[in-house]
Structure 1
Amino acid sequence: MNSNNAQSFSNGFALVGDIGGTNARFALWRGEVLESIQVLACADYPRPEDAVRDYLQRVGQPLSAVENVCLACAGPVGAGDFKFTNNHWVIRRESFRAELGLSHLLLVNDFSTMAWAASRLSEEHLVQVRPGKALEGRAKLIIGPGTGLGVGSLMPLPSGGWEVLPCEGGHVDLPVTSERDFALWQLLREKYGHVSAERVLSGSGLENLYRMSCQLDGVEPACATAAEIGERAMAGDAYADAVLEHFFLWLARVAGNAVLTVGGLGGVYITGGIVPRFLERFQRSGFAEAFRSRGKTSGPYLDPVPVWVMTADHPGLFGAGVALEQALRNEG
């Protein structure tokens, strides 16, 4: 990428996308702002190129106006072509670029874009849920319970930019810190064998936690889905609320462990589809205390670490824009 392409990007716009198993979200990225956001069903298009063409037609932009594209893809992204796990699309890098006439195509892991978003989101899109002081020059941790449990970190660069370090932190062992934790862990182990953090800290994990809590307590389940558990908790159902509280406490433990591992004294950013939906309840939970309530060494280490919840509507798209901007700047 030469400086002319970087300059054209700064003066115009790029196309960014956030593509999952079911939907593809597209937007134009101009001046650090998302424009013309649309959601298209992946099943409606034989190839991702067809979806891009249709999106541009819908928003009144010619294909020739787009030179730079960043797509956040659900799954591990390598240097080669990308095949989606949960839909039929394949992005063949060279043919994709050639067919659409692109100067630059950047593919990034979808959760990595959440980390890129955390590096640039303004205060209006962040809600602080744990006070503290973020240390300059230290890593930031991003964690997000949703369909799965995403974990990543942002490392500051000497140039002033950031490096996103994707990982598989959702598959660490689920921490056990109480007799009830242990009883639930035993039920999870009977069902799954290895008990990862994601077995509890995700949409399906919340359902696991509810069902196995009911099994442990001899309670007839009244909910079948994570949405129902959350709705009943918000409506005043004491049992569903207690399960949701346990979910938040387990999130605190896993997040705290991750901070200790990566040295994330730059702060923690929580995203995903669950916590922002129940933000007020999360703020009243025991998360903040459980996060630092540990041993004589780890407790003081974690005590000053602030925690925010990301409330932006489309952090994946925003992060794709930030990732592309930095990549072009580095190459320009």
Structure 2
Amino acid sequence: MAHPSIQDTVLDFPILIGDIGGTNARFAIVVDSYAEPREFPVVQTADFATIDEAIQTTILDQTNIMPRSAVLAVAGPVDGDEIDLTNCDWVVRPKQMMAELGFSDVVVLNDFEAQALAVVALGEEHLEKIGGGVAETTGSRVVLGPGTGLGVAGLVHARHTWIPVPGEGGHVDIGPRTERDLEIFPHVERIDGRVSAEQLLCGRGLVNLYRAIGKADGKDAKLATPAEITGAALERRDDIAMEALDLFVTYLGRLAGDLGLVFMSRGGVFLTGGIAQKIVPALQNGKFRAAFEDKAPHSALLADMPVFVITHPMAALSGIAAFARTPARFGVETSGRRWRSR
């Protein structure tokens, strides 16, 4: 890959930055390379037919700052001039945005690529450690987050540059391991005959797991939403919910350990998103860490690998802002993902 020049990487201020997930979209404007991002209220994607309408109504109509550039991180693979979101009906059309919203430069990243950038943009005050040793300063890292779906991305350091590695790791296979797993998995809802990690490790995945436990045991699983299940489990008032959350953190630990091995994440494994933040007590009860480290013959390696929960509510925006201010600091490949009018 040829190294771009500073002129090729620089973005014109002000810059609209956005983190667009399946349920929520978060926006801010970076006025210059020194200013903190000016954040706007969180947008519910279901409230607007298109992303262009959401940006016009909730951002551009509410400020006299007119962004010249935009850096958007979206939940889905970036491919072509029409970018579909995986768990949302919005379609990002950069050329149309430039024509109708006035941008002269649009960069579109994967949402978990932005989460990976956030890992080096956030301070210790926004990290809750879940065991392990000391993170290596320039060690490789991996970030995963159960939310509307399950996002995964890596971050590697080379030639004095942090390079995010986007992907669709949330869709890897996940399977039973224990006798209890074998009782539950036949009742897990499948997509095209398979159980991917996202089928268990996201909001609807927690509901899927809760219902599967009820069916396996012949019990009435009455709760309907991730929030209800999480609340009942943490308050210890529903046995099925308690087991569902225990298994959720166990399966999350298994996958996080697998990804830690894939990336040899001596810089840490990072859990992000609202679900991880809400279940910190469950993540600290030992089951997550036991599953994370149970990777013979490399259990000792995993035991030393730190895990952190990112507690910043706008973590991805922090990562996008860091990139928007100084793109040359990061090895972000923008070929095929950047649209300019000049």
| TM band (smaller chain) | 0.7 to 0.9
1:216 to partner: Cα distance:
1.8
Partner of 1:222: 222
Quick one: distance in 2 between partners of 1:73 and 1:181? 33
State, as a whole percentage, how many aligned pairs show the same letter. 35
Write out aligned runs for 1:170-249 (5 A): 170-188=170-188, 193-237=193-237, 239=239, 240-249=241-250
User: Contact 2:249/2:282 (CA < 8 Å) preserved in 1?
Assistant: no
Partner of 1:35: 38
Quick one: distance in 2 between partners of 1:4 and 1:174? 41
Partner of 1:307: 307
Partner of 2:337: none
**What are the ranges of 5 or more consecutive residues in structure 1 without an aligned counterpart?**
none
1:82 to partner: Cα distance:
1.9
Partner of 2:253: 252
User: Contact 2:69/2:105 (CA < 8 Å) preserved in 1?
Assistant: yes
SS of 1:186's equivalent in the other structure is helix
Quick one: distance in 1 between partners of 2:122 and 2:257? 22
Partner of 1:322: 322
Partner of 1:167: 167
TM-score (norm 2): 0.84
Of the three residues 50, 53, 57, the one matched with 1:54 is 57
Which stretch shifts more, 168-177 or 52-61?
Answer: 52-61
- Give a deviation string over 1:117-166, Cα, whole Å, max 9, x none: 112111111111113122343310101111111111111131x3311111
1:326 to partner: Cα distance:
4.2
Which stretch shifts more, 314-323 or 115-124?
Answer: 314-323
User: Contact 1:143/1:152 (CA < 8 Å) preserved in 2?
Assistant: yes
User: Contact 2:134/2:304 (CA < 8 Å) preserved in 1?
Assistant: yes
- More helix per residue: 1
Quick one: distance in 2 between partners of 1:224 and 1:8? 46
User: Contact 1:133/1:304 (CA < 8 Å) preserved in 2?
Assistant: yes
Quick one: distance in 2 between partners of 1:39 and 1:201? 24
**What are the ranges of 5 or more consecutive residues in structure 2 without an aligned counterpart?**
333-342
Which stretch shifts more, 91-100 or 203-212?
Answer: 91-100
Query: Could you say what the CA RMSD is over the residues aligned between the two structures, in angstroms?
Result: 2.8
Aligned residues: 324
Quick one: distance in 1 between partners of 2:180 and 2:62? 53
- In structure 2, do the counterparts of structure 1 residues 302 and 69 end up closer, same or farther at CA, with 3 Å as the change threshold? same
Quick one: distance in 1 between partners of 2:54 and 2:238? 45
Quick one: distance in 2 between partners of 1:23 and 1:202? 15
Quick one: distance in 2 between partners of 1:79 and 1:192? 26
Write out aligned runs for 1:136-155 (5 A): 136-155=137-156
Residue type matched to 1:173 in 2? D
- Give a deviation string over 1:174-207, Cα, whole Å, max 9, x none: 1433111122223337786212222211111111
TM-score (norm 1): 0.86
Structure 2 residue 120 is the aligned partner of structure 1 residue 119: yes
SS of 1:287's equivalent in the other structure is helix
Quick one: distance in 2 between partners of 1:41 and 1:220? 32
Residue type matched to 1:40 in 2? V
1:323 to partner: Cα distance:
3.2
1:251 to partner: Cα distance:
0.7
User: Contact 1:36/1:59 (CA < 8 Å) preserved in 2?
Assistant: no
User: Contact 2:149/2:202 (CA < 8 Å) preserved in 1?
Assistant: yes
Quick one: distance in 1 between partners of 2:110 and 2:271? 17
Write out aligned runs for 1:50-129 (5 A): 50-63=53-66, 66-85=67-86, 89-129=90-130
1:19 to partner: Cα distance:
2.2
User: Contact 1:248/1:285 (CA < 8 Å) preserved in 2?
Assistant: no
